[in-house]
A and B are shown apart, each in its own frame.
Chain A
Amino acid sequence: MHTTSPRFKTNAHEALDDAKLQRALGNVPKGFIAKRKKVADALPEFEALRDASRDIKSHTLKHLDLYLEAYEKKVIASGGHVHWAESAADARAIILDICRKANARTITKGKSMISEEIGLNDHLAANGIVPVETDLGEYIIQMRGEHPSHIIAPAIHVNKDEVEADFRRVHTHLDPARDLTEPTSLLAEARGELRAKFLAADVGLTGANFLVAETGTSVIVTNEGNGDLTQILPKTHIVLASLEKIVPTLNDLSQLLRVLARSATGQEMSVYTTLSTGPKRSGDPDGPENYHVVLLDNGRSSMLGSEFEEMLRCIRCGACMNHCPVYHAVGGHAYGWVYPGPMGSVLTPSLIGVDKAGHLPNASTFCGRCESVCPVRIPLPKLMRNWREREFERHLTPSVQRRGLSVWATLATRPRLYRLVTRLAARSLALLGRGKGRFRKLPLAGGWTDFRDFPAPEGETFHAAWAKREKAGREKTGRKETGPKGAGA
Chain B
Amino acid sequence: MSRDAILARMRRSLGVHPGDVTRRAEVADRLTRTPRGVVPARGQLAREELVRLFLDKTVAVQASCVRVASPAESKTAVLDYLRGANLPMRIRIGADRRLAALGLEADPLVEDGHGPSAGDDLACLSHAFGGVAESGTLMLHSGPDNPTTLNFLPDHHIVVVDADDIYGDYETLLDLVRETYGIGEMPRTVNFITGPSRSADIEQTLLLGAHGPRSLHVIVVG
Q: Which residues of A contact B184 (CB under 8 A)?
A: 74, 214-216
Q: Name the distance in Å between A469's Cβ and chain B's nearest Cβ.
A: 47
Q: Which residues of A contact B18 (CB under 8 A)?
A: 65
**Given A62-B14, A232-B149, A274-B191, residue A153 in contact with residue B204 (CB < 8 A):** yes
One of B2, B9, B35, B152 near A302 (C-beta < 8 A): B9
Across the interface, do A191 and B13 meet the contact criterion of CB distance under 8 Å?
no
**Given A136-B210, A284-B142, residue A84 in contact with residue B2 (CB < 8 A):** yes
B97 contacts partner chain A, Cβ-Cβ < 8 Å:
no
Segment with Cβ contacts to B, from A245-253, A331-339, A449-457, A472-480:
A245-253
A433 contacts partner chain B, Cβ-Cβ < 8 Å:
no
Across the interface, do B186 and A215 meet the contact criterion of CB distance under 8 Å?
yes
Q: Name the distance in Å between A68's Cβ and chain B's nearest Cβ.
A: 7
Across the interface, do B14 and A305 meet the contact criterion of CB distance under 8 Å?
yes
Across the interface, do A285 and B116 meet the contact criterion of CB distance under 8 Å?
yes
A100 contacts partner chain B, Cβ-Cβ < 8 Å:
no
**Given A84-B3, A136-B210, A232-B148, residue A27 in contact with residue B203 (CB < 8 A):** yes
Q: Which residues of B contact A155 (CB under 8 A)?
A: 201-202
CA distance A358 to B148 in the complex (A): 47
One of A160, A232, A248, A271 near B27 (C-beta < 8 A): A248
B52 contacts partner chain A, Cβ-Cβ < 8 Å:
no
A44 contacts partner chain B, Cβ-Cβ < 8 Å:
yes
Q: Which residues of B contact A233 (CB under 8 A)?
A: 149
Q: Could you give, for residues 52-70 of chain A, a 1 whenever the CB lies within 8 Å of some chain B CB and a 0 otherwise?
A: 1000100100111111111
Across the interface, do B189 and A275 meet the contact criterion of CB distance under 8 Å?
yes
Across the interface, do A68 and B7 meet the contact criterion of CB distance under 8 Å?
yes
Across the interface, do B212 and A280 meet the contact criterion of CB distance under 8 Å?
no
CA distance A287 to B144 in the complex (A): 11
One of A187, A225, A250, A254 near B202 (C-beta < 8 A): A187
What is the number of contacts between chain A and chain B, taking CB atoms within 8 Å? 269
Across the interface, do B189 and A287 meet the contact criterion of CB distance under 8 Å?
yes
Across the interface, do A160 and B211 meet the contact criterion of CB distance under 8 Å?
no
B174 contacts partner chain A, Cβ-Cβ < 8 Å:
yes
Most chain B CB within a 10 A radius of its CB, from A28, A134, A228, A265: A228
B84 contacts partner chain A, Cβ-Cβ < 8 Å:
no
Across the interface, do B199 and A187 meet the contact criterion of CB distance under 8 Å?
yes
Q: Which residues of B contact A31 (CB under 8 A)?
A: 200, 204
**Given A214-B34, A254-B170, residue A225 in contact with residue B142 (CB < 8 A):** no
B90 contacts partner chain A, Cβ-Cβ < 8 Å:
no
Q: Which residue from chain B places its CB closest to the CB of A161 in the assembled complex?
A: B203
CA distance A343 to B205 in the complex (A): 25
Q: Name the distance in Å between A346's Cβ and chain B's nearest Cβ.
A: 17
Prevailing SS type, chain B contact patch? loop
A468 contacts partner chain B, Cβ-Cβ < 8 Å:
no
- Which B4-55 residues have C-beta < 8 A from chain A? 5-7, 9-11, 13-16, 18, 23-24, 26-27, 30-31, 34-42
Q: Could you give, for residues 249-283 of chain A, a 1 whenever the CB lies within 8 Å of some chain B CB and a 0 otherwise?
A: 11110110110000001011111111111111101
Selected A-B contacts with CB under 8 Å, 26 pairs? A45-B41, A52-B37, A64-B10, A65-B11, A65-B14, A66-B27, A67-B27, A70-B31, A86-B6, A135-B201, A187-B207, A191-B210, A199-B119, A228-B212, A229-B152, A232-B149, A248-B30, A269-B61, A271-B193, A276-B188, A283-B144, A287-B188, A302-B13, A305-B14, A305-B15, A306-B13
The interface of chain A, by Cβ under 8 A from chain B, is 24, 27-28, 30-32, 43-45, 48-49, 52, 56, 59, 62-70, 74, 78, 84-86, 90, 134-137, 140, 153-156, 159-160, 163, 183-184, 186-188, 191, 194-195, 198-199, 213-217, 223-226, 228-229, 232-233, 243, 248-252, 254-255, 257-258, 265, 267-281, 283-287, 295, 297, 301-306
Knowing that A233-B149, A249-B35, A255-B38 are A-B contacts, what are 17 other residue pairs whose CB atoms are under 8 Å apart, sorted by A's residue number?
Answer: A49-B37, A63-B27, A86-B2, A159-B203, A160-B203, A188-B209, A198-B119, A223-B210, A224-B198, A228-B212, A251-B171, A255-B37, A265-B200, A268-B194, A283-B143, A284-B147, A285-B116
Q: 4 shortest A-B CB distances, which residue pairs?
A: A225-B212, A224-B210, A137-B201, A304-B13
The interface of chain B, by Cβ under 8 A from chain A, is 1-3, 5-7, 9-11, 13-16, 18, 23-24, 26-27, 30-31, 34-42, 57, 61, 94, 115-116, 118-119, 134-137, 142-144, 147-149, 151-153, 169-171, 174, 177-178, 184-205, 207, 209-213
